[in-house]
Amino acid sequence: MNDTAQIASEKEIAAARALLDAHAVEMVAWHFHESTGCPFWLEKKSEMKFDPLQEIRSFDDLKKFDPFEDEWLRGGPVRRWVPKGLADKPVYVFETGGTTGIPKSRIALDDFRTDYSLFSETLPDKYFPRGANWLMLGPSGPRRLRLAVEHLAQHRGGISFCIDLDPRWVVKLIQKGWMEHLEEYKKHCIDQAITILSAGHDIRCMFGTPKLIESLCLALEERGTSLAEQGVTGIFSGGTEFTPQWTRFCVEELFGGPPEESGIYMTPTYGNTLMGLAASGPCHAANNYKITYYAPQPRAVIEVVDFDDTDRVVGYGQTGRAKLTTLTKEFFVPGFLERDEGEREQPYEKYPWDGISEVRPFHRLASATTVGVY
């Protein structure tokens, strides 16, 4: 937990937990009822040794499910993931991976809008002004992020500009060791961003991956200008590369100081296509830029679990693997073991449930993971 935040009271924690328990039961009832559930889970139900409709009475009961395997998301038919209760609604499909082979697909209807509308409430209007236009400096193509950021901008009354960025090509460049091509591709993306920023669109807010924010700032610096001069005041970013040291570098050197001095406010987020978006508690020099994420409960939950006994949550301050649970009407993911680890953090007043800090690639898988590629 961040040292300037207030620990949540027992009462607040209990209330949040009760809400989560009730929500978990409601979502299981939806996903495993013949009239509303999706073909995938209804088929799984027939293989289970327990009846989810009868035996899931709290969030903790979700441990009865086998861990969710994201490999299930590869290949079709994608309709098997669409709940019958939502079958007549327009459906999106978002993909992750796919540099080689079949990507993992997740269906979505409104989840991305809901997640980002909720996230919008965490953004300070002073730095993310209502009505301001946005720049989306991240992956394009069949990814949730592009549409989600666009929705965020629209939700706040603005319009989102975006660039073309194919992360699968970036991963291939890294795997081939074509570092000069990688550099040129990055420049190509940054050139697009600078062109948009300089085109008089009144862009004040942006999403960017850490590497691209850094490259954008350096490129602007080379041109004798800065993000602040370009009018940007609010940035959100995310991923395991968003470390305290990187934040410090951005704030102290690239932006020119904390928000009150530089006029630029940056907030980290953590998430993926399966779970959604976790916001961060306060992160600044006074707490050594420590970053702690809190999932948007009860729609999604982050637990920090023992590396070997993944049903056991570790103690506060202890290190464990991130375990994600998604509980929306569109998508049910019980206990997905993420490729990240971190420390379990105390609930605090704004988010009266557990958080995770110092998120980094899971050490047992780290060498096989290509992080922060774009």
Partner 1 sequence: MIELPAIRWGEPYRSLDVDEIVHFETGELVARVHVVGAGIIRRDAHKAKRARQALLAMPPAELIEKCKAAGELFENGTLSVGDSQQSPTDFIGQQSATTGMPLSMCQANMTKNAFVLKNMGQILDCLTRGLNLDTLARGYGEEGRGVTVSYQAQCDALGAVLPNNSPGVHTLWLPVIALQMGLVLKPGSSEPWTPYRIFAAMVEAGIPVEAFCLYPGAGADIGGAILVSCRRSMIFGGSQTVEQYAGNPKVQVHGPGFSKILLGDDCVDDWQRYVGLMVDSVYRNGGRSCINCGSIYASRHTKEIAQALAAKLGPIDVFPPDDPRAGLAAFTTEGAAASIWDALERDIEDPQTTHITANYGERLVENPPVAYLRPVVLHCGSPTAPAANREYMFPAVSVVECPQEKMLSAIGPTLVTTAITADENFRRDLIASRDIDRLNMGEIPTPQLDWLQPHEGNLFDFLYRSRALQIAP
- Residues in the site for partner 1, rule: CB under 8 A? 177, 179-180, 183, 211, 214, 217-218, 221-222, 243-246, 248-250, 253-254, 288-289
Q: Provide the token pair at 321.
A: 């693997």
C-alpha to C-alpha distance for 73 and 107, rounded to whole angstroms: 10
Closer of 134 and 246 to partner 1 (Cβ): 246
Rounded to the nearest whole angstrom, what is the least distance from the CB of residue 343 to partner 1 in the complex? 15
Q: Are 171 and 196 in contact (CB under 8 A)?
A: no
Q: 265 or 289: whose CB is closer to partner 1? A: 289
Backbone angles phi, psi at 44, to 5 degrees: -60, -40
d(CA 310, CA 294): 19
Residue 305's φ and ψ, nearest 5 degrees, are -115, 160
| Nearer to partner 1 (CB atom), residue 144 or residue 211 | 211
Nearest to partner 1 of 103, 244 (CB atom) = 244
Reading the block at residue 128, the tokens are 């993310």
> Rounded to the nearest whole angstrom, what is the least distance from the CB of residue 229 to partner 1 in the complex?
17
Minimal distance in Å, beta carbon 112 to partner 1?
30
Smaller CB distance to partner 1: residue 73 or 182? 182
CB 178 to partner 1: min, Å:
9
Task: Please give the backbone phi and psi of residue 164, each rounded to the nearest 5 degrees, phi first.
Answer: -90, 125
8-state DSSP, 251: I
Give CA torsion, residues 311, 303, 249, 211, to 10 deg: 80
Torsional sign, CA 137, 142, 147, 150? positive
Q: How far is the CB of 22 from partner 1 (least distance, A)?
A: 40
Q: How many CB atoms lie within 10 A of CB 169?
A: 15
> Is the CB of 166 or the CB of 214 nearer to partner 1?
214
Minimum separation from the CB atom of position 372 to partner 1 (A): 9
SS3 301: strand
Identify which of residues 84 and 360 has a Cβ nearer to partner 1 in the complex.
Answer: 360
CB of 218 to partner 1, least distance (A): 6
Residue among 143, 163, 137, 139 nearest 103 (CA): 143
Three-class DSSP category at 233 = coil
